[in-house]
A = this chain, B = another copy of it.
Amino acid sequence: MRTKIKNAWILTMNGNMDEYPCGEIVFDEKQILYVGEKSEIQAEVEIDAKGGIVLPGMVNTHSHASMIPFRSLQDDCPDRLRRFLIPLENGAMNEELAVLSFKYAVVEMLMSGITCFADMYYYVDKLAQACDEMGIRAILGETVYYEPTCDAKEAYGGLELGKKYMDSWGKHPLVTLTLAPHATNTNEGTIFQKAMEIVKEHNTILMTHAAEMDYEMKYFKETYKLSPIEWLDSLGCLNDHTLLAHCILANEKDLVLIQEKNAGVSHCISSNMKAGKGIAPLKEMVAKGIPVGLGTDGPSSGNTLELFSSMRLVAQSQKTKHHDRALFPAKEIVKLATIEGARSLRLDKQIGSLEVGKQADLICVSVDAPNMFPMYDAYSALVYSACSHDVKDVFVAGKHLVKDFQPIVNRKKIREELSTSMNDFRRIAKEIEKSL
């Protein structure tokens, strides 16, 4: 099925940053066939964007999509992860809840213009099936953790489980399974090394939380006289198969290492600032050419699974941190949310920009809402004015997954099923809240 979108302000995000203020794009389920001012190619479906902005689908480089049930719970609780989230997850998460939550989250992401995401959670074989059914692109990492988890009775059980899933899942046009050792301070070095070996064999990426927590930094300094990034490097686990989430507390030496070893970073500014953790050295990362994408983090941490508010916050936080309003112009930030995100996931050959031959992962942002007028600069409008509810149409691999603001799946049904399956979760959450 071939689709043509007309009358669009197209931001290609290609190497030249070409844009077509009144352009056309033609694509099918295999690839993009045309991007430019006007195409002679015929298409079965024609869509009038009515001046809306067409850009590559956004790439969410870090999430825990199945954590939907945790949203708006104890948002302002100190040391929330250890005191509240992990006990609740251990007590109340199960396969059914993880899968239903995941489907809900996929709907939310698609409706917000995210067409590809990198996720760390449990039961990833089942989550992969959900992606396959729903048509979204994803890299799903089975979490490896030093204690028993909701899907592994043994410490570090995720390692074997994840490997098994990776072997059985194999190659898929949209979905890649991989391993995600939870964090530098919640895994032994040997576990990281085993995980990296498996990841390399499967040519995927290893995802982990790094340089995120004060107590993590303290632990590594006291135990190894190293930063967590240096520690990962000492294990041979910092390379172009590594994706580091957060890196809030990475110092200059760490950044040089990340750059030299060509690791990627996921910058989760909404989550990091809400938790009061700090503002990662994004300016320095980008200056070094480190592949950096944006991440929403889980819905319990960043709350919304969309990157519009993150783009705006990147501008606000970096300009303020460096006292320079010219820093990170809007165009640079849209790059982070698209092509740079794809690069950090090593998917930039397939997605992240609108170019002939690439996959047709793309979105159309409506300019109908009051906040989207006037528009002199589409990048500025996306970063400073747009919100996720302005996303009108979403395509992944040429398939029309969100049509006129609504997903093609029955989102009401997904929500009802999830809500029903949350009954135990709600009860256990209340019990843990009492003990806070």
Contacts and interface: CB of A to CB of B under 8 A. Distances in A.
Nearest to A318: B276
Contacts of A323: 276-278
A374 B277 contact: no
Interface stretch (A21-29, A30-38, A68-76, A186-194): A68-76
Contacts of A319: 273-276
A414 B80 CA distance: 47
Contacts of A278: 320, 323
A111 B370 contact: yes
Q: How many copies does the complex hold?
A: 2
A324 interface: yes
Given A72-B375, A80-B325, A278-B323, A273 B317 contact: yes
Which of A270, A276, A317: most chain B Cβ within 10 A?
A276
A77 to B, nearest CB: 7
Interface stretch (A120-128, A222-230, A285-293, A301-309): A301-309
Interface string A355-386: 00000000000000111011111001101110
Interface stretch (A150-158, A174-182, A326-334): A326-334
A68 B370 CA distance: 10
A236 interface: no
Given A76-B329, A313-B316, A370-B111, A429 B385 contact: no
Given A275-B319, A279-B320, A316-B274, A371 B72 contact: no
Interface in A403-422: 411, 415, 419, 422
Nearest to A332: B76
Nearest to A108: B370
A118 interface: no
8 contacts: A72-B385, A104-B370, A273-B317, A276-B327, A277-B325, A370-B411, A370-B415, A389-B390
Interface of A: 68-69, 71-73, 75-78, 80, 104, 107-108, 111, 270, 272-279, 303-306, 309, 312-313, 315-317, 319-320, 322-330, 369-371, 373-377, 380-381, 383-385, 387-390, 411, 415, 419, 422, 429
